[in-house]
Amino acid sequence: MERDMRKLNAEQRVRAVLDALPGGRFFSSARGVPLAVFGDKSVCWFAKNQHYRIFHGFGVPGPQRRFDYPDIPGVVGHFDGLNATKKCTPVVAAEQ
């Protein structure tokens, strides 16, 4: 699979992220950068450094936190970790 991924351009890579993660939408920035957007988080592909970058705070004024992953499983794992945290928070609050 990695062999096939090397031939994909930035838009195809972003669309592959959308295929792997439900609930996102495709967006093209003002500079023409393809993005996968999930609420206030966005994912793009940096060809020069060969990694995916996740930005927290998409569309929100101020600095954005960013996270880099070399492949789609890393991106999916990042979002799975966020979802697990969100699912646990109400349970902890209800116990108190």
Looking at residue 80, its pLDDT comes to 87
pTM: 0.76
C-alpha angle with apex 16: 32 to 61, nearest 5 degrees?
45
Distances (CA, A) of 56 to 7, 24, 68, 92: 28, 14, 12, 24
Please list the pLDDT of the chain residue by residue as tens digits (96 residues): 444 667 889 999 999 999 999 899 999 988 999 999 998 899 999 988 999 999 998 877 888 899 999 999 999 999 987 765 554 334 444 444
CATH class given for the domain over 2-95: alpha beta
Domain boundaries in the chain? Answer: 2-95
